[in-house]
Amino acid sequence: MLRILFFVFAMLLGQTSAFAASMFSSEVVLDDSDAATEQAAKEKAFVDVLVRASGQSTVGENPVIQKALPTVGQYITQLGYGELDGQRSLVLGFDDAKIRTLLTQAQATYWGEPRPDVLFWVIEDTPTQRNVVWEQSGSPLIGELKAEGERRGLPVLMPVGDFDDVVAVSVPDLWGGFADPIAKASARYNPTGIVVVKVNDRGLSWQMFPNAAAISNDTPVEGRVSGAPAQAFPQMIDEISDYYAQRLAVNLGVVNGDALSLEISDLNDAEDFFVVERSLKELNSVAALRLDSIVDDKAIFKLSLLASEDVFHNEMMSDRRLQRMVEEAPVIDTPPVIDAPISAVEGSVDTSTGTIADGTVSTGTITTDTSPAQQPAIVQPVVDPTLAAQPTEAIPAEPAPHVIRYKWVG
């Protein structure tokens, strides 16, 4: 019985780490069997994995990475031979911990899980008609598109093309980029982003809605690539992957040591709390997490980030069970400032009574002259010399603690 339980656990672990295993493995064609060719194939596979792990299509040009290429053998954990497109191939697995260390040394980024699921609506434009490329159509475009997604570690979804899909959206809806019907037809796939691709033999154009949940308010990202699909798909996938990686990848080697306060409200029970805590610890942007307090339905964590707050919020956005609470700027009542400086006041004084006969009365002492009546009088303010000798020191206001607030809607 124990062996059975261990086997089931191993199977489940294998399923959860399938993405990680694919991200750190690669298969490349071997042109011949000499040592120089095999070394070149290992270096190519190594760069492919680094591009996938970092989210940077140009990471292979980094000087630190260039120096590491001749010693690629120390990063390899598995090596075998296979067949790819009818040609002999080299199958390699790489050490994920060593790769992450290398990316840190190179001051590169790291793009881990979860990655955005992107749904592709592909319209093939032929001289006679326009057709949607469905998952079940068997079109070679599907294999080419998914292969490029695997190369960059971008999960590619394709609509299956069943009755629901056909009824929900039409070719004119897709061709015109109409957000509402596209959003409704895509909802069943629950994607992070949606891409509409118009492809023909001469090239393709594409329009991406990065946030499928807010497609009506989203500003689409557009691109155009010349050439046959086999040459155009790689550039399109690179641009889309780079877009998401710039917003989600963690900048390794740069640590933000300032702890932030994160408040999660609407937690119904202990299960909700542990789910939230586990989700936060798995985020690539989180360096350290510590529970500060739990009050009623609110949990407050102390948070240290490996990346900027924008990256953190982008990662949090991918979990639909968490909703960010937007804070309103506090309104501060400032009392009116009355500017009433004390200055000398001139007037006429009655020497017999010592009163000002003509002028403005002010607090102070009146200096008079013994000359004839109605001489000008000067009113001077009374200043306490003990107060004047002590400088006034401004007390800085206590800064309000920076609190990030989310609500649990899971």
* pLDDT tens for the chain, residues 1 to 410: 333 332 333 333 333 345 566 889 999 988 777 778 899 999 999 999 999 999 999 999 999 899 999 999 999 999 999 988 888 899 999 999 999 989 988 889 999 888 999 999 999 998 889 999 999 888 999 999 999 999 999 999 999 999 999 999 999 999 998 999 999 999 999 999 999 999 998 999 999 999 998 888 878 999 999 999 888 999 999 999 999 999 999 888 755 556 789 999 999 999 999 999 999 988 877 877 889 899 889 999 998 877 788 888 988 888 889 999 876 555 555 555 555 454 444 455 454 555 545 554 444 444 444 444 444 544 455 555 554 455 555 555 545 567 899 999 98
Q: What is the pTM of this model?
A: 0.66
Alpha-carbon torsion (187, 191, 192, 197), positive or negative: negative
The DSSP bridge pattern shows strands 193-200 and 130-132 to be unpaired
- Say if 118-247 and 255-332+401-408 have the same CATH topology: no
For domain 255-332+401-408, give the fold: Alpha-Beta Plaits (3.30.70)
In which residue are the tokens 């109409």 written?
A: 178
Considering the four listed CATH numbers 3.90.950, 3.30.460, 2.60.40, 1.10.357, the one that applies to the domain covering 118-247 is 3.90.950
Q: What ranges do the domains of the chain cover?
A: 2-110, 118-247, 255-332+401-408
- Indicate the SS3 state at residue 197: strand
d(CA 341, CA 335): 18
Alpha-carbon torsion (134, 135, 139, 141), positive or negative: positive
Using the 8-state DSSP alphabet, how is residue 204 labeled? E
